[in-house]
Structure 1
């Protein structure tokens, strides 16, 4: 651990938390600024993970704002697992209508391993809240801990394991503003049972049952993939898939009353044997995302259609 990380950790453990969050008024100003540049008034937000960036092509009445043009927004370095690495497509908000519903898509997200503070990562979610978003779809690419899962499976998230949270790496650390949500929010129902039920029903109608799973997602900081021992530990803990994103955004969405649907694409199987010659790699993740892209897009689109007004 680097000296700066040790210092931050020690301050957190001693109660002297280094808080780098945004005040409610700051988020409110950013949200007003964004809304002032578009006609759309979205009620649904979608964080586009691997294989889902093309969902923007399904939108009508499209309006685009680059992250770099939004005050305070974290701009991804382009090395993450959870956005399409296509020139001109990562790092922007895309507004439009999907199946008749007004939505805003995040094409590209920031990660802890890029060096961002956890409070910076979640700024877009709070901005979406103050723009009027009530439902958030969060998608990601992940490694399969559950050995019954196959590469290309789509997992509907029922719960998560916030491993960095054990060391107080939590976006809710710091002063709490009740206008966002309560000081001690329950996290046992972060993933809406209503939306999970709709997702499963839609998947069945689309004849996706052969590769739809239900499971627990674990958030690890990255950027290194997991060791064999770490994977074995997660398996014992009841984890089905692990990745490097999603949980910070979900915790904040839950905190401020946004209904969440989490969907994971299993892009590789985690290595569980010490003598295995298999290794996780970024190229496999991207390749799987591209192969399953259309299914992911159709699933999200049809779930949105089912929500009605």
Structure 2
């Protein structure tokens, strides 16, 4: 029997190149990060990541990223549905605009958003003139240390602006994370057959019932993937956030803490900055792991239901 022709080289060579490239680009930098953090020791590492400064920044980053990712799931699903199911003028233009955050430098996006939503900006000034206000949770006593954080003392602070406020950070994170949801869900919508939906409609199901029982289960794995990617992008975002958030304690994200620790020797060292980076890396990895486990559980449930 003759060997089957292969487009690429055999397994050994292809796998070797893939592992070598992955090691140089991903594994070695991450290993260096962990080795640098190991110089601190467990006690100092714990003291850094549980300090009031780092804890407040990480908590705010997680909260803003979660809100932005949930917003992107809702809006991204709507946009993906429109692009995948309907034909209308300038559809290709809208489809290309979705990828703009991928190509646009994040610093440019931050400047544009801060200009638009500033108190003197087009949208920021208009919202300020009509008395726009929104609440955002704050934790009392966070400057005193980690003990107060564990007591969960939450209060709500009212903001009347978007730029230099928590909502501006959410807007920036939503801007950079939206393409991940749309590009993950859109192919699934385009491949989703309409025969089951039509059959459910003939049996008397309402539109809401069809969406909840027929469409949503098929889109759930893609939505989870898009949510996880948008959330992870928000956790590590920096360029588009620093301009619209400003150098304020109530809008400081974890990436800003890392930069300050590196640039200002009085607030930390390079090893201290790697400790915060390892904390963010661990949080992102844990979130992605949980999402993958949920996806597998959903896939097994669907396969079991189909078999039954």
TM-score, scaled relative to structure 2: 0.21
In terms of fraction of residues, the more strand-rich structure is 1
By percentage of residues, which structure has more helix? 2
Question: TM-score under structure 1 normalisation?
Answer: 0.21
Computing the radius of gyration from Cα coordinates, the structure with the larger value is: 2
